[in-house]
Structures are given as structure tokens and as C-alpha cells.
Chain A
Amino acid sequence: MLELIVISTLNGVLFGMLLFLLSSGLTVIFSMMGVLNFAHASFYMLGAFFGYQLTKWIGFWPALVLAPLLVGAVGMAVERYGLRNTHKHGHVAELLLTFGLAFAIEEVVSMIWGKSPVDYRVPAALDFPAFTVFSTNYPAYKIFMLAISGLIFVALLIALKRTRVGLIVQAALTHPHMVGHLGHNVGRVFMLVFGVGSALAGLAGVIAGPALVTQSDMAALLGPILFVVIVFGGLGSLPGAFIASLFIGLVQTFAVALNGSLASAFGPLDPGTGPSVLTDIWNVTIAQIAPVLPYVLLVVILIVRPMGLLGTRET
């Protein structure tokens, strides 16, 4: 039991940090530009596939740097040539544009790399067990992922709180017009933020690709969970996104690891009752309801606290 708790906590924190790499960019883009970027998870997928392809051509370490930069460039192009032109039609049009982009990117990826998972492997230099907890070997690559996402988190914090650019970004979050009046190029700030956000998503993809499955449906699987994270944490709140990412990461990881059901806790139902909704609920294991849990959390938080955990605006 203790072994399960330790391993699941490690994995949960890791998944949570990955979620934060994505949700931080998403929530900053949302609160600055008012655009909910539907294609954010697609940038994560692009990162994984670029990482896979570049690893094949030039090795993992150059790919770790190049792939996020490429994804960031794609993101900047999307902002410059897509969103900026759509802005005059309102937020719904912008949202729809990113929705169409997410759809198109998934199709392009499955057109080029196919619909089945690609063979994106952990680099040989990191393919060894880091330490042994009880009887489980914990892979070094996961520690590496944890280190990278922790590093990015600290770098992001410093960049936002301690640099001039971070100051402008923070100001543009709440008062974009005032920032413009002061002579800053708000358009360029937006493009930069969109590019950095996409690059962070791409980085998450590059490092998550070997550990998870690199497949053309990975964006569609992760995208809705990201939205849950940023609503749960409170729209536009970075600390909220951080707490929500870790929380949902842990909840999902623990749920997958647990095999209990109502039937195992209270004994099986009378066999004479036959199949019904009750028997379905009675026999379903916690692991089976893991994919539903984030959405249940979403509905609960909307009823109990509509602005999210640390949000200031009513959702």
C-alpha cells in the first residue's frame, strides 16, 4: 500500500507538472487576449511528433531544443496571420478558428505519421532505473521530466516577476489599452506570449512523448482535461492553474492505480437483480471511472464555486 502511495504520488506530481506546462500557457493567453486556444493541446502533439522526427534525424538532445522552437514559430505564425485577422470578428470567431486549427492539425499529423502510435523511445542515456522504491524501479527518464518541468516553472516565475518583459506581460493582462498608450507594442507582446505558450506546450510534448503514447489522438485526449484544469483553478490565475494541475494530476494517477469498487467494498449485489444502472455503478472500479473524474470535478466546482479555486472573475 505504501509503495503504491509513493509511486502514485511521484507519477501524479509528474503528470501535474506536465499539465502545468500546458495550462500555464493556456491561461496566460486566455487572460491576455481573451482567446481560449483550442489548438493548445495540438501544439503539445506537434511537439511530440516534431521531437520524434528530429530525434530520428539529429538525436534527442538537439531535438529537445529545436522542436519547441519550431512549435513556438508555428504558434507565432498562427497568432500573426490567423488570430490577429480574426480579432475584428470577435472572440467567438477566434475560438472557432483555433477549433478548426485543432481539427486540421490532427488531420495533418495523422496524414503524415499515420493513425497508429509512432516508435518514440526514451534516449539511451536516460534509459536506466534511477532508484528502487520497495520493489519498483523508478525510471530515470521520469526524474528527468520532473526536473525539466520544475526548471521551466522556476524560469517562468522569474521571467514574470523579475524581468521587464514579465512586467509588461503582467500589465497587459489587466490593462492592454493602457500598456499600448504607454508606447509598448501590444501586438508584438501578444505574438511573443502566444509563441512562448506554444513552445512550452511543444516542450511538454517532446518530453512526454517517449513516456506516454505518441499518437495522432493525443491532443484530443488531453485537450478537454486542460480546459477542466484552467476552469478548476480559476480563469486567468497562474497559481490557480498550478494547484489545479497538480490536483488533477494526482487525482487521475491515484484513480488509475486503485482497483476498488463498491462491490469489493460492500460485497456483491444479490445476483437475482439482473443488469441495471445500479449493477453498473456497483461493479465499476475506480480505475474505470478515472477518465470521467476531471469532468465530475468540473461540474462540482461550477456548482460550488463558479469562479474556480483562485479565480477572481465569476465563470
Chain B
Amino acid sequence: MTSTVTSASDIAAKPSGQNLRFYGLWVVAAIALVALPLIFSSGGSLTSFSLIGIAIIFALSYNILLGETGLLSFGHAVHYGLGGFAAVHVMNAVTAHGWPIPLPLIPLLGGIGGLVFALLIGWVMTRRAGTVFAMISLGIGELVASSSLILRSVFGGESGISTDRTALPHIFGWTFGPQIQVYYLIAFWVLVSAIAMYALTRTPLGRICNAVRDNPGRVEFIGYDPHVVRYLAYCFAGFFAGIAGGLAAINFEIANSAYLGAVQSGMVLFATFIGGASYFFGPILGAILVTYLQLGLTSVTSVWQLYFGIIFIGIVMFAPGGIAGLVMMHRPLIRARTLGMVIPSYLVAALPTLALACGVILVIETVARYAVTGGEGNIVKLLGIPFNTTAPATWAIAAVLVIGGFIVARITWRRIAGAWDRAAGIARDRGYLA
């Protein structure tokens, strides 16, 4: 948290050099978004990039709640889903009535769909923060998800409502039939939304959101109503989630009740928290990683969701700042040039930690395969080595890797902690660490 605050004051204090670097970063991001499909032009990677783009907007919108305002929501997919349904209905209406609304504007209407529901329900929800808000958001999420199966004319029941994105009025000769055109549409909205959401964190509203997160009592004391602030943040989050939902509806040409469900809400929470809620770029990292793992792991293993759960539990217990927090921890060390002191212990710890990870993976895969085949022999391949799931040797190897790896890894983790304390101590002496 502290570093977001310092980086903001840095920008204000040192205009020229810092500003150049800051705007340069956004320009680089824009160029990367344009250039990506030119480098990886296969159909599969275009689809992946599109999904990642949608996930980035969704995760960033979630972080307005979790990271900026400190509201833990278990029902954020409600706004994503309603945005998707709003987009699909508008697209079908545009096609039916021949209204002059081109496809690139549809995500905005999806965003309005998400916003309207946030305006309606947010006031009751944001009365209290913390655990109570989390529980209510879960209840509202379930309410909307189960209602969506009853109101068939709006939500289309189990099959959902489909649409045709190419039937809308064309502009600049773009039909949005090919995936590459959809990718550029998504990339455009990713950039616009990311800039808008970053700007939001720099407004007085964004600042007071942080204050409400850290100390609502004092916010009230200086004359702001935390309830109103939370409500506004909730509405913004709902709006951007709706944009993501609208883009998803365009990408898949369908909206169904799975968009609103608990699984979708859980995934955005995973992405944001694994990436790191304390930094603006954390959810972006998380969205890329989670979407990539989702796409990549499904073809490798049948129990990929379990790995998600384990990674998530590991992050919650050992690195609550997420990946972004882990990376940013090293910044003062790099500045103080003491990073070299911790790297050797990292390298020493890498081997037993990897052995432990391999052991856990071997256990999971063996058990999974063993249970599926009902105890019959089957082969699990790990690092190219075949393991027979019924052979006692496999179970023995797995046990040795897990137990031995854990014992040795724990010793090396303590070494890291020791080296870290020494490096941080020197960095503190040199004035780089508060």
C-alpha cells in the first residue's frame, strides 16, 4: 500500500523525468497491444489474447473494490454477467430495428448494464464493509444467479441468449467477423479502461477510497460518509465489470447464466489476489497468469482447479501481497544494491522447493488417475518420466519427495529469511527502506 502512495507523490513532485517515464509506460503498453498479434498470429493465440484482455478489465474492475476500497466481494460476476446480457440484448435490438449503433460502442452499453444494477443494489450492500459485505455480496450473487434460471425470457434459461456480432452496422469496413478484428476491439477497450481506472485511483475520490479502506472512522471524522464513498466505488467497479462482460458477449456471441455464477466470481478473486491487490499492475499480472493457466492446464491435467486452489492458499498464507507484492519487495534492495546478498540463498532454496512441488504434483496426479481408473494400473508422466500409479515405488518416491523436500526446503527458507534481514538492514542503513 505504501508504495502506491509514494509513487503518486513522486509523480507530483518530479514532473519532467517521472512524467516521461510514466507516459512512456502507457505508450509501450499500447504498442505491445498493437504488435502482439503481428508476432503471434495463430488463431489459438489470438483467442487467448482476447480472453486475457477481457480478464484484465474484469480483474482491474474488481480491484477497485478489493485493493482500493478494501471491499471483498464474492459476487462481482453479477455485474460482468448483467453487462454481457445487456450487450447481447442491445446487439439483437440493433439488428432487429436497424439502429445506427456500431459494434465498438456495445461494451459501453454493457458497462451501463453493470452500472445500473450496481446503482440499484449497491446502497444496501455497501452499508457495512468487511465480512458483512462479503457475505451479502455472496447472497446477492446467488440471488441473481438463481433468478437468471427463472426469468427465461431475459436470460434464456440454461442455453443462454446468442447473437451475431457481424450483423451490426459496419464502420471503416470492419465486419468484426475475423478474430483479429475482435482482438483489436478488445485491446482498444483494455487500454481505455485501464487508463480510466488508473486515472480513477488518482482522483480525490480514489484517494478517499483508500482512506475508507485504511481507516473509515477518521474519514467520517473529516466529514466524508464512508458509506457514500463505498457506494461510488461499487458503482465504478460494476460499470467496468459490465464493460468486460460486454466484450465477453461480443467475443463468444452468447451470454448465459454461467457468466453470473459463483465460479466466475471466484476466478476474478483468484486472479486479483494472486496478482496482488496492493498495486495497480497486480491484477493485470494475475489476469494474464490465471487465464493462461486456465487455458494451458486444462489440456495437461484433469484436476487443474485443485492447483489453482493450492496456489491461492499458498499466496494467502505466505505472500498476501501477491506476485506484484513479491516483486516490489525487492525494489529497495535493488536501489540499495544489496540484492546480490539474497540471490545465493534463493538459488540454494530453489532445488528442494522444486522437489517438494514435483512431489506434490506426483501425489495429486497419481491419486487422481488411481481414483478415475478404480485402482487399475495407469501411467502418469511427469517431466517425461513415466510413473505407474499402482506401483509401490511411485508412492514411495512421491512420499520421499514431499516429506524430504519439505524438511530440506524449510531449512533453506530460513536461510532466505536470514539473508533477507541482513540485506534489508543494509538497505535501511543506506536510506532506501522505511
Contact = CB atoms under 8 A, between A and B. Distances in A.
B159 interface: no
A225 B127 CA distance: 21
A302 interface: yes
Nearest to B321: A89
Interface stretch (A65-73, A190-198, A293-301): A293-301
Interface size class of B (residues with CB under 8 A): 35 or more
Contact of B150 (A92, A104, A284, A295): A284
B138 A288 contact: no
B317 interface: yes
B312 A103 contact: yes
B154 A277 contact: yes
Interface string A21-34: 00000000010001
Interface string A226-242: 01100100010000000
Given A85-B317, A220-B262, A103 B309 contact: yes
Given A280-B151, A299-B124, A95 B305 contact: no
A103 B309 CA distance: 6
Contacts of B153: 275-277, 279-280
A227 B140 CA distance: 12
A62 interface: no
17 contacts: A91-B130, A95-B72, A99-B266, A101-B313, A103-B266, A104-B306, A104-B309, A111-B367, A111-B371, A227-B135, A231-B132, A275-B153, A277-B154, A295-B146, A299-B139, A299-B143, A302-B127
Contacts of A124: none
Interface in B338-390: 364, 367-368, 371-372
Nearest to A298: B139
Given A111-B367, A220-B262, A302-B124, 18 more contacts: A30-B131, A95-B131, A96-B312, A100-B316, A103-B266, A103-B309, A104-B310, A107-B305, A224-B138, A227-B139, A275-B152, A275-B153, A279-B153, A284-B150, A288-B150, A295-B143, A299-B124, A302-B136
B139 A96 contact: no
Nearest to B154: A277
B195 interface: no
Nearest to B143: A295
Interface in A235-292: 235, 275-277, 279-281, 284, 288-289, 291-292
A36 B124 contact: no
B305 A231 contact: no
B72 A224 contact: no
B134 A95 contact: yes
Nearest to A235: B132
B388 to A, nearest CB: 19
A171 interface: no
A315 B130 CA distance: 10
A289 B303 CA distance: 33
A103 B139 contact: no
A114 interface: yes
A82 interface: yes
B5 to A, nearest CB: 19
A34 B131 contact: yes
A125 interface: no
Contact of A277 (B151, B266, B320): B151
A91 B133 CA distance: 13
A82 B153 CA distance: 46
Nearest to A230: B135
A113 B320 CA distance: 32
Interface string B153-172: 11000000000000000000
B179 interface: no
Nearest to A30: B131
A96 B152 contact: no
Nearest to A81: B317
B316 A295 contact: no
A315 B128 contact: yes
